[in-house]
Amino acid sequence: MAIQLSDIEPLSLQGLTDIAAADTTVKLLQVKQSLLGKDSEFTKLRATLKDLSEEERREVGSSLAKAQQKLESAFLTKIEQLELAEISSKIQTDFLDVTLPGTPTKAAKVHPHTQERLRLEEIFQEMGFTVWEPYMLDSDYNNFVALNIPDGHPARDMWDTLRINENLAFIVHTSSMQNRILSSQEPPIRAIVPGKTFRNEATDARHEHSFFQVEGIYVDKGIKLSDLLGTIKVFLNSYFGREMPIKVQPTYFPFVEPGLEVMMQCPVCEGAKPLDCGGCSGSGWMEVIPCGMIHPNVLKAAGIDSNVYSGFAWGFGLDRLIMIKYGIKDLRLFHSGRLDFLNQF
């Protein structure tokens, strides 16, 4: 059935009434869809224009367009009114007085590992060391071969390795970065590598399968053992905030020659050596930093002439230093997620 002029006016008046009655923007948008959407009466009427004569089509089409424009104008006016009203209402109900005191909240804390690592990095950076991040997974070459520990070497028994395959393993020490650092730049080289290491360990109060270690290397012309001991002494004094007497004893690691163990006077009994001391068990000393002069084979593997350059390296457990500093008895607490422990730091 063809559209008539008389069909347009009632629809237009009803549409204006529905627009005026809408009291939310959601309802208004629904009204607009029903009036002007693809399934609306106006759309259906427009589709019948083709059935009219040219003169009727011109007259009826013009009237239909004016009615739709009137509805569009009414819609725009109404939605502006509703949006302003809704904003005003929201301001009244959601008003925030920024001059009032804030609601107290408990800020999160930085994990003790992170706190102490940042302090440690600061100390070494003041001495001119750069900070490197280790690879958590690295090759057998970097974990062992480049460190003077070839395949079949008995020293490999010291590290029970968690392997992905024959050539890829979780790093057993941050020393795995030595070759990468030494082969990537020319001496002088001063770097520390704080990072997480992994071993197949039986977990107890002093052992974990995952723990933090800090590697240090210094290579230049004329570097001596006294430079190593002086660097470690400055670090320990700065880290513990007081004079820390040290002594050394020989030990063995394939990648250093000679190999040393730096011992620090027990901070619990301060060297008094009571048999019941929880820090040193009566010896007066605590082993803290394995170290030594970098083996010529390690320098050679990195392309550095050991006849021209020398250097030293260390690799100590950050967990152990934190335990000593704060009197912590159980290494497993660091990984426990216990808030009563973590909130102390």
Beta bridge partners of 261: 249, 290
Which member of 191, 256, 288, 298 is catalytic?
256
In the annotation, is 163 catalytic?
no
Amino acid (one-letter) located at 79: I
Contacts for 340 with CB less than 8 Å, ≥ 6 apart: none
DSSP 14-26: HHHHHHHH--SHH
Structure tokens at 281: 């068990």
Backbone angles phi, psi at 312, to 5 degrees: -130, 165
Structure tokens at 271: 């060297």
Cβ-based burial of 221 (10 A; exposed 0-12, middle 13-18, buried ≥19): exposed
> Whole-angstrom Cα distance, residue 52 to residue 56?
6
Check residue 174 and report its DSSP letter. Answer: G
Which member of 117, 173, 295, 320 is catalytic?
173
Which member of 68, 178, 213, 265 is catalytic?
213
In the annotation, is 125 catalytic?
no
In the annotation, is 265 catalytic?
no
In the annotation, is 313 catalytic?
yes
Q: Look at residues 267, 227, 225 and name the one whose alpha carbon lies nearest to residue 246.
A: 267
In the annotation, is 4 catalytic?
no
Contacts for 119 with CB less than 8 Å, ≥ 6 apart: 239
The number of residues in the chain equals: 345
Which member of 68, 113, 159, 193 is catalytic?
159
Structure tokens at 221: 């012309």
3-state secondary structure of 73: helix
3-state secondary structure of 82: helix
Which member of 117, 190, 199, 320 is catalytic?
199
In the annotation, is 173 catalytic?
yes
Which member of 31, 262, 301, 313 is catalytic?
313
- What is the distance between the terminal CA atoms of the chain, rounded to a whole angstrom? 84
Active site residues: 159, 173, 199, 213, 256, 313
